[in-house]
Amino acid sequence: MTIIEAKNVSFSFGETPALRGASIAVDQGEILAIMGPSGSGKSTLLHCLAGILVPDSGEVLFGGARIDAMPETSRSSLRRDRFGFVFQFGQLVPELTSVENVALPLLLSGVRRKQALDKAYAWFERLGLDGLEHRRSGELSGGQAQRVALARGLVAGPEVLFADEPTGALDSLTGEQVMDLLVAAAREQGTTVILVTHEPRVAAYADREVIVRDGRVNAPDRIAS
């Protein structure tokens, strides 16, 4: 069953087109890799699917409802309550400890602090981060920080996790460890993952790959299960 899709989406940055009628549909529980060369529009497509950007034309639907037609307050609530995010450099809040960073989506959703922290603590053993709960981002290695970011993206049990080059700042071995953890956690929770990458070894973790070139999507037919 399709959970999120873009229909004939176009988007430009000023006079520069980034998407030119891109269409894609993602099934519930699927792990999808969006690939393409630099500047192809793959990150722009991800941001449109996540409701961060509003397309100039076309439609973006989540659960059958058009999120591109929602006001910003509604799209913000959607990103906070039903979506999760992992970015290339983690983007942890430097003033917060690791466990506070993981708990942040829950706190922003109104979960009481003790309950949010208790749920956040549980991810540290799960992701091999025992003993790092009270370190800040400047005290973590790149791989450790990205695992904290992964926990933050998944802690609230999002329906869709958007991951933009989540291993781009990591060495090969650490990147594979992060992807192993991401896929295992997503499968366990039934989370749909939309992953932007330019690395074939990362895309190999996905159920399906699509290629973005010149703002358009080359999406092979899905293999029937």
pLDDT band at 221 (very low <50, low <70, confident <90, very high): very low
For 2-49, the pLDDT digits (tens) are: 999 999 999 999 999 999 999 999 999 999 999 998 888 999 999 999
The reply to whether the predicted model has a pTM over 0.95 is no
Q: Name the range with the highest mean pLDDT among 2-11, 172-181, 182-191, 211-220.
A: 2-11
| pLDDT at position 222 over 70 | no
The predicted pLDDT at position 224 comes to 37
Determine contact, residues 86/162, Cβ cutoff 8 Å: yes
134 vs 154: CA distance, rounded Å: 19
Give the pLDDT band of residue 107 (cuts 50, 70, 90).
Answer: very high
